[in-house]
Amino acid sequence: MSVTIFSHPSCMQHQVTEVHPEEPARLSAINDQIIRSGLELALTQRDGHPASKEQLNRAHDASYVDEIFAKAPTEGHIWLDPDTLMTEGSLQAALYAAGCGIDAVNEAMQGANPRSFCVVRPPGHHATEKKAMGFCIFNNIAVAAHHAMACYALERIAIIDFDVHHGNGTESIFLNDQRVLLCSSFQHPFYPHTGASTTQPHIINCPMPAGTSGSEWQAEVKQRWLPALHRFKPQLILVSAGFDGHSEDDMGQFNLRETDYFWIAEQLKGLAEQHCEGRVVGMLEGGYDHSSLGRSVVAFIKGLL
Ligand SMILES: [Zn+2]
């Protein structure tokens, strides 16, 4: 069984001319490490399609999507929030980032490979129904989940988010939607200062302190996520795969390593084989230290293989 990699050259055209930690070189680092590792031979690489407004509007307010299209600059840049900017190529990058998730869901539901990973940017999990924030314009994972529910009538989708930051946007979009089981671990207290007091039973948040080790994180996953995931019996597993919790990534202060990302991918693959014919779709979120980002993505994909 292979893993399909979805990406698109447009994802490199966002913020090309501005200095920003969420930069095109992140994707180059991932692609270089995939080639260096020899993993390329075990993967199927595909270009994704752009998401349509109709697809985006399932997760976002239509007025917000219209606003992003209207604001997209043809030169220079604009700021959507203090962290999130748009340059000339940003709208196309954001459309392809969300669209790759839709293609990956289609591939999982009807293609040859139930497992895929989307090497995309901008990331998505901080974007709410009507607000860009934290480097995110459209909520890629939420758009993918809504596509799966709308086009394949799925009623139980698990979203796993192990980025070091809480995925406040994903939580807000599915806060009252029990078709989604959202399992999230994040450094707390930390940006965006949400998630620690969420009480909905379909949202399993694991706020953890700075300095959290891989073994502490794995113990929490075993105790809180895995039993809930087995009870939920997901029909599809989506992963907001952020690698900024790596010990070498100074965007956060977790001490995760490649072995932890390999381990979670193996756990999710096993769950998916048991409950949903192996369907796992990973989407890149954070990860800003290029070396550890490349190695961590490779470790995660190896865990899916
Ligand atoms: Zn992050």
- What's the pLDDT tens digit per position in 129-156? 999 999 999 999 999 999 999 999 999 9
286 C-alpha vs ligand 1 centroid, how far in Å? 4
140 C-alpha vs ligand 1 centroid, how far in Å? 14
Reply yes or no on whether 126 is catalytic.
yes
User: pLDDT exceeding 90 applies to what percent of the chain?
Assistant: 97
- Residue 172's pLDDT band, with cuts at 50, 70 and 90, is very high
The per-residue pLDDT for 112 is 86
Question: Do the Cβ atoms of 23 and 285 come closer than 8 Å?
Answer: no
The per-residue pLDDT for 74 is 95
Burial of 77 from C-beta contacts in 10 A (0-12 / 13-18 / 19+)? middle
The per-residue pLDDT for 119 is 98
Catalytic residue among 8, 14, 60, 126: 126
The per-residue pLDDT for 187 is 98
The per-residue pLDDT for 127 is 98
The helix (run of H) or strand (run of E) holding residue 28 is helix 25-37
The per-residue pLDDT for 98 is 99
What is the CATH class of 3-304?
alpha beta
Q: Whose CA is closest to 193, among 130, 140, 126, 128?
A: 126
Q: How much is the mean pLDDT over the chain?
A: 97
The per-residue pLDDT for 141 is 99
The per-residue pLDDT for 111 is 84
287 C-alpha vs ligand 1 centroid, how far in Å? 7
Which amino acid type is present at position 15?
Answer: Q
112 C-alpha vs ligand 1 centroid, how far in Å? 31
- Residue 16's pLDDT band, with cuts at 50, 70 and 90, is confident
Question: Do the Cβ atoms of 152 and 42 come closer than 8 Å?
Answer: no
164 C-alpha vs ligand 1 centroid, how far in Å? 5
Which amino acid type is present at position 190?
Answer: F
251 C-alpha vs ligand 1 centroid, how far in Å? 8
pLDDT(57) > 90:
yes
162 C-alpha vs ligand 1 centroid, how far in Å? 9
- Residue 17's pLDDT band, with cuts at 50, 70 and 90, is confident
244 C-alpha vs ligand 1 centroid, how far in Å? 6
pLDDT(1) > 80:
no
Neighbours of 190 (CB within 10 A): 20
297 C-alpha vs ligand 1 centroid, how far in Å? 14
Structural domain spans, the chain: 3-304
285 C-alpha vs ligand 1 centroid, how far in Å? 7
More confident residue, 125 or 17: 125
Distance (Å, whole) CA 211 – CA 160? 21
Question: Do the Cβ atoms of 292 and 246 come closer than 8 Å?
Answer: yes
In this prediction, residues 184-209 reach a mean pLDDT of: 98
Which amino acid type is present at position 272?
Answer: A
- Residue 22's pLDDT band, with cuts at 50, 70 and 90, is very high
pLDDT(169) > 90:
yes
